[in-house]
Amino acid sequence: MKPFEEQNYYEMLDLQTSASSFDVRHAYKTALQIYGEDSPASYSFFSQDDRAGILANLERAFLTLINDQSRMEYDRSLITAGLMEESEQYRRVPKKPIPIFDLEETGNITRMVFPHTEKTLCPPVEHPVVREIMSKDSLTGQDLRRIRIELDITLEQIVEITKIRRGLLSAIEEDRHEDLPSMFHLKSFVRAYADCLRLDPGEVAARYLKQAP
Amino acid sequence: MNGEENPINNIWPIGGGKGGSGKTFLTGSLGLLLARKGLRTLVIDADLGAANLHTVIGVAHPGRTLSDFVNRKVENLGDAVMKTPVPNLYFISGAGDNLDVANLVHSQKMRLLRAISKLPYEHILLDLGAGTSFNTIDFFLISNTGIFITTPEPTSIENVYRLIRSVYLRKIRQVLREEAFRELLQEAVMRSNGTSAKNPEDMLRILKACNPVQGELLEESLRAFRFKLVLNQLRKQDNHQIGTLICRICEKHLGLRVHFLGNILHDDRVHDAVCRKVSFLDKYPYTQTATDLREFCHRFLAEREDNPPAGPPIERTGETIRITANG
């Protein structure tokens, strides 16, 4: 534990060296809440002189760090004293617009990708099971599911890519006709589904709709 | 230290500088909540000379008391334990006709502290008296997990700081040998130009300057503390941040780890419940204050799981630990 007077300005204000000017302002406000003359939190903790000393130090720290020019100079003095890494030095970063929506989905959203196994790498029609099913004249939901499982693709992965509700996809797979949408929508859903399995969408949709009501 | 008879228990001394800050109420409520969770809990009224915990937990006429143990009317402290109306909640009263018990002789105190740390309960809560007498502080230092309680009023905060510093100083005294402590005091007086050393943290600094090895060790033993803080009787208009800020001051200026366990809202009905001698938690379970208490108990247990009490709970005073450079 370093005595307060010996701490550097960042330590005094409990700041990271990477703090923005907004952080500095906020930290100074919090510090005043703690050390201010009328602060109930530190009542009687410091003597009159100690408090005055701390407040003077804090003010100096704030005024140094809030100004870009003086902050850079101060950082340089810390670096020469060996108290700070060169890489940590404050650089003025121009403000950028803050994105409201993460359009590129680069945030914490982890995109599911198809597993690249042997089964998925070769074209699906080369699988004997798939070929057998695709040779049929009409395709039921059961058939589609068998192909999907054969290709090692989970329903969640299809949901992720097509953005079609999971319930709808399983209704298609389970041939629950009462839960299916209108023919128009059903057709495009099946096409999207087939596309995920790398089958010919038009072909699959046509054959599926043959048996659907 | 002597772990052979020492069951795994957690001793929680609850102290605060000022009278009326709610130490007894909090001890009673926390004991009740822990017992309801099925944990064998013992509450001890260590407010010697001004005991009144029995009233809060609904034991009208305490039979055996701590003073019976101190005066050797009972040899075994376990025999002084009484059942309460609440299952799993046990109680040792500090009340008694012996007014002299407030002034414990050192050896009696040590015997008592040792006996407490050997009692087989999962949680032992110690309700301490106000003030910074040696008795209070030694009871507080029975484990390194004491709970400080304060209200947001300057008078109470002043006293709690006073208590924290007294505990700090007492710890320095425990760790250093007698003559080392005296030397340190003299050194401190010299350095501060004749005026006596005002703060224990200055003494630590001085010790570190003259004897870095001892200073380091002392700082380490101070770091081992896992104190907690509760802010009681908070009014709606009060600053809810005060507790967090107090903990930050302790961390930053004393090097003491104090974990803030939350605010407990002021409620006039507490007064009402105490007057009727009924449990506040049972009579007014749906108040904000009762919710705060339950939340406090929850955090208290969660925090303990994060930091299981390390090592033997008792650190005896009087026994000097030699920490000179060559052992």
CATH number at residue B146: 3.40.50.300
Same domain flag for A59 and A139: no
pLDDT winner (highest mean) among A26-30, B48-52, B110-114, B320-324: A26-30
Q: Do A34 and B249 touch (CB under 8 A)?
A: yes
- Concatenating the DSSP letter of every residue in B201-262 gives HHHHHHHHHH-HHHHHHHHHHHHT--EEEEEEEE-TTS-TTHHHHHHHHIIIII---EEEEE
pLDDT score recorded for residue A198: 84
pLDDT winner (highest mean) among A86-95, B47-56, B236-245: B236-245
Range of the domain at A15: 4-88
Per-residue pLDDT tens listing for chain A (213 residues): 678 888 899 999 999 888 888 899 999 999 999 999 888 888 888 888 889 999 999 999 999 999 989 999 999 999 998 888 888 888 777 766 665 555 555 554 444 455 555 555 567 777 888 888 888 888 889 999 998 988 888 888 888 888 888 889 999 999 888 888 888 999 999 999 998 888 888 889 999 888 876
Residue B19 belongs to some domain of the structure: yes
The 3-state DSSP class for residue B282 equals helix
Residue B178 belongs to some domain of the structure: no
Of the pLDDT bands very low, low, confident and very high (cuts 50, 70, 90), residue B157 is: very high
Q: Give the CATH number, domain containing residue A60.
A: 1.10.287.110
Chain B residues touching A4 at Cβ < 8 A: 252-253
Residue A95 belongs to some domain of the structure: no
Other C-beta atoms within 10 Å of B165: how many?
Answer: 19
- Which ipTM value was assigned to this complex? 0.77
* The model's pTM: 0.70
Range of the domain at B241: 10-158+225-306
Question: CB of B271 within 8 Å of any CB in chain A?
Answer: no
Q: Do B157 and A39 touch (CB under 8 A)?
A: no
Residue A57 belongs to some domain of the structure: yes
Residue B248 belongs to some domain of the structure: yes
Residue A74 belongs to some domain of the structure: yes
Structural domains of chain B, count: 1
Same domain flag for A65 and A19: yes
Residue A102 belongs to some domain of the structure: no
Structural domains of chain A, count: 2
Pairwise CA distance, residues B171 & B114, whole Å: 18
Phi (first) and psi of residue A175, to 5 degrees: 55, 35
Residue B275 belongs to some domain of the structure: yes
How far is residue A150 from each of residues A74, A84, A143, A145, measured CA to CA in Å? 65, 58, 10, 8
The 3-state DSSP class for residue A125 equals helix
Chain B residues touching A1 at Cβ < 8 A: 219, 252, 254-255
Same domain flag for A196 and A148: yes
As given in the structure block, the two tokens for residue B89 are: 């909640």
pLDDT score recorded for residue B5: 38
A155-162 helix and A183-196 helix, angle to the nearest 10 degrees: 110
B243: nearest CA in chain A? Answer: A41
Q: Do B158 and A47 touch (CB under 8 A)?
A: no
Residue A101 belongs to some domain of the structure: no
Same domain flag for A11 and A80: yes
Q: Give the CATH number, domain containing residue A183.
A: 1.10.260.40
Residue A99 belongs to some domain of the structure: no
Q: How close does chain A come to B157, measured CA to CA in Å?
A: 7
Q: Do A41 and B245 touch (CB under 8 A)?
A: yes
Please tell me which residue, B104 or B124, carries the higher pLDDT value.
Answer: B124
